[in-house]
Amino acid sequence: MTSKFAVILAAGQGTRMKSKLYKVLHPVCGKAMVEHVLSQVEENKMDEIVTIIGHGAKDVKKRLGERTKYALQAEQLGTGHAVLQAEELLKDKEGVTLIVCGDTPLFTAQTFSELFEYHEQKGAVATVLTAEAPNPFGYGRIVRNELGIVEKIVEQKDANEKETAITEINTGVYCFDNKELFEALHQVKNDNVQGEYYLTDVMEIFKNAGKVIAAYKMKNFDESMGVNDRVALAQANKLMRQRINEKHMKNGVTLIDPQTTYIDVDVKVGRDTVIGPGVVLKGKTVIGEDCFIGAHSEIRDTVIENNVTVTASLLEESTMAEGSNIGPYSHLRPAAKIGKNVHIGNFVEVKKAEIGENTKVGHLTYVGDATLGKNINVGCGTIFVNYDGINKHHTNVGDYSFIGSGSNLIAPLEIADHAYVAAGSTITNDIDAHDMAIARGRQVNKKGYFDHYPVADAAEKAEISTHKNI
């Protein structure tokens, strides 16, 4: 079997992005552009991958890790010069080398596979991946002779009037005989408008040597889109999002309005789950089967099991067990663990807390740094007071306990099973099993005191006004 290598070009700064973030690290649907490219290349079971780095080299290496080897292009002198930096790692190896740019996140593994296959069939020394462009401006043009054989590739700035009229463009992806590639690169000159060493010039070198050059025209031009500015970045996100959404729908997920549903590339969603309009699913989120994710919910790096309902809520780095529900307008912060059949109602915030099976936290409540057992009722307006100004402290609440509305639980605190906290209490001491804790001031009624306050005058005027209108 022929050995397969890849060179990913990721050394450019991307000045047109006008960004502090290096171009190839800009995200498309939750993953850096260069990471998309690497992932699709990897699916073709490459023997070796080399990424050419330059600007932002440290950040690119941090993102891609040990999935690829690296070669540094310290000075950007063109695409031919960039590929030449991989010579030390690849030059003596027999096989086929794929060249692809790190700012083309929409290419698929299938397209790369088809290019490899076509290259092998034609017995070519070089094969360029081409496409018919509706607007070819800015792309290199594929110049063919009367027999349809590729003669050369001309860059936009070097093209004459006849060549600029060509609509078949160079996508920037190639297959080369590895040894032939590096031999030809040493013959490339920089006598062009840009004063750069173009990788495309090796085609004419091969042609003059009588070697076979092939061109494989891909089916979908959109895949070839390169991202050079924020406008193109938005378009790439739109195309990738459409691809992702169609994949989920074909796998049995209902998207009520795909145009307003934003799902990152690594998100997993189970069959018969329904996703409402305006939903954002990010990162490594995993959603089970038969769930309902209501409109305008945002979920990031969260695991949701089967039969869960999320209504207009924000979930981050949390888990929701089977049959649980949340919302509307609630927030799971990192390390929240929601147990089976738990109800988290509206305007509830949970942070670094575990809530046991069948427990209910109805509304207007904060649960932070706590462990709640099963079958607990937490009343409206309860606050788990976990912060003393310097440190966070933990509260444990036992099974079958009842926490009355408007309670403040001052951590650290141990509330045993079957304990009862009276409404309006501020609890600072532990509570034993089957005890009720009451911690509030005794009520005193002051006779006639209503009339001493300005509200009395306002009430009297309102009464007079009401009687006049009757």
Report DSSP state, residue 443.
Answer: P
The tokens describing 264, both together, are: 């990152």
Contact present, 384 and 399 (Cβ < 8 Å): no
Nearest CA to 345 out of 333, 328, 332 is that of 328
Task: Write the Ramachandran bin of 49: left for phi over 0, alpha for psi from -120 to 50, otherwise beta.
Answer: beta
Nearest CA to 7 out of 187, 189, 208, 185 is that of 185
186 part of the active site: no
In DSSP notation, 154-185 reads E-GGG--HHHHT--EEEEEEEEEEHHHHHHHH
Spatial neighbors of 351 by CB under 8 A, at least 6 apart, are 333, 334, 335, 336, 366, 367, 368, 369
Nearest CA to 71 out of 12, 9, 4, 5 is that of 9
Residue type, 274: V
In DSSP notation, 199-234 reads TTHHHHHHHHTT--EEEEE-S-GGGG----SHHHHH
Contact present, 329 and 312 (Cβ < 8 Å): yes
> In angstroms, rounded to a whole number, what is the distance separating the alpha carbons of residues 103 and 225?
9
Spatial neighbors of 127 by CB under 8 A, at least 6 apart, are 115, 118, 119, 174, 175, 176, 213, 214, 215, 216
> In angstroms, rounded to a whole number, what is the distance separating the alpha carbons of residues 25 and 33?
6
> In angstroms, rounded to a whole number, what is the distance separating the alpha carbons of residues 348 and 53?
46
Spatial neighbors of 269 by CB under 8 A, at least 6 apart, are 248, 251, 253, 263, 275, 281, 287
In the set 343, 363, 393, 452, the catalytic residue is 363
Report DSSP state, residue 134.
Answer: S
Residues annotated as part of the active site: 363
